């Protein structure tokens, strides 16, 4: 069984620069039955880390701002991460990053795992 450290190393070393940015679906609009997952276990934390890395590497200026920490001012976080089970008959997971001022990205995982399928710019 892999240790947390080796899983984290694998996540941080993943090549994500060529992920597809799709025209649809939208996590916000196309999955009305999605379920917010609030149990932040190790897999959920790794999905957020991987989603963050994917957004940084694929979203241009927003990724640059995230990387530089522009969405954290003092002790106030100006963006949110939410994880959803899509409930579309698959075991797919969607991670939503949203900024207080409308920008948001969805990162879709192929299943309840660490394999990213695509990204979608929500705004």
Mean pLDDT by 10 residues, the chain (123 residues): 67 81 94 95 93 92 82 72 94 91 89 95 88
Position 33 scores a pLDDT of 94
For residues 37 and 58, what is the distance between their CA atoms, to the nearest angstrom?
A: 25
Query: Which residues are within 8 A (CB) of 77 and not within 5 positions of it... i.e. 6 or more apart?
Result: 71
pTM of the model: 0.86
Position 109 scores a pLDDT of 97
Position 23 scores a pLDDT of 93
């Amino acid at each position: 069984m892999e240790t947390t450290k080796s899983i984290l190393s694998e996540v941080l070393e993943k090549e994500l620069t060529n992920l597809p940015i799709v025209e649809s679906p939208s996590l916000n609009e196309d999955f009305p039955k999605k379920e917010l997952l609030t149990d932040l276990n190790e897999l959920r934390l790794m999905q957020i880390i991987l989603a963050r890395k994917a957004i940084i590497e694929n979203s241009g200026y927003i990724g640059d701002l995230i990387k530089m920490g522009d969405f954290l001012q003092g002790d106030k976080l100006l963006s949110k991460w939410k994880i959803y089970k899509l409930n579309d008959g698959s075991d797919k997971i969607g991670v939503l990053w949203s900024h207080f001022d409308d920008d948001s990205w969805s990162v879709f995982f192929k299943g309840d795992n660490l394999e990213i399928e695509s990204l979608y710019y929500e705004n």
